[in-house]
Amino acid sequence: MNDVQKSTLAIYPGSFDPITNGHISIIQRGLEIFDRIIIAVATNSAKRGLFSIPERIELVESSLNHNDRITVDTFSGLLVDYVESVGAKIVVRGLRALSDFEYEFQMALMNRKLNRKIQTVFMMTDYRWLYVSSTIIKEAASLGGSVSGMVPPLVDKALRNKYGFE
């Protein structure tokens, strides 16, 4: 074995509209495996956003304790091009239930077809966040439901503000 260990940089891409406890769990557990993680907020997602890109970045940054091993960035265009541009080779995605699998599998294979040097690594979600997604969080919050405990407190507050419940 070579003494010189290469530091591993992983990219965790997503819409993060907004960040949830499920995302945070993947980031925290990802740090057990990778030396550095760049959280890459997609700016050209097909999904119509609730929060603006600067708001999403702000919520991601304030939801995570400052850590030199984490960077928050944005990207537009192809994910694989972004990954290559920052000198990384690993994309991390969280997997919840079977329902995620088809889309994730399709995306991972397309990304692999586009750039064979980049590998997608899937991490299983913590069972506590199995049912949590940004989409379902927004639906519940938009109707006045409490999402406390599923998102960081400041995201909970931002959602209540957005939907006029505060």
Interface residues with ligand PNS (CB under 6 A)? 13-15, 42, 45, 47, 78-79, 107, 110-111
CB of 147 to ligand PNS, least distance (A): 17
Q: Which of 42/53 has CB closer to ligand PNS?
A: 42
Contact predicate 42/134, CB 8 Å: no
Is 96 catalytic? The answer is yes
Residue 74 three-state SS: strand
Q: Residues near 124 by Cβ (< 8 Å), separated by ≥ 6?
A: 94, 95
Select which of 56, 96, 133, 138 is catalytic: 96
Q: Which of 78/164 has CB closer to ligand PNS?
A: 78
Is 23 catalytic? The answer is yes
CB of 83 to ligand PNS, least distance (A): 9
Residue 161 to residue 166: CA distance in whole angstroms? 5
Residue 165 to residue 157: CA distance in whole angstroms? 9
CB of 118 to ligand PNS, least distance (A): 11
CB of 164 to ligand PNS, least distance (A): 25
Q: Which of 44/165 has CB closer to ligand PNS?
A: 44
Select which of 47, 69, 117, 128 is catalytic: 47
Burial (CB < 10 A; 0-12, 13-18, 19+), residue 102, is: exposed
Show the tokens assigned to 155.
């995201």
Q: Which of 77/153 has CB closer to ligand PNS?
A: 77
- Dihedral sign computed on CA atoms, order 23, 28, 34, 40: positive
Contact predicate 119/89, CB 8 Å: yes
Residues catalogued as catalytic: 23, 47, 96, 134
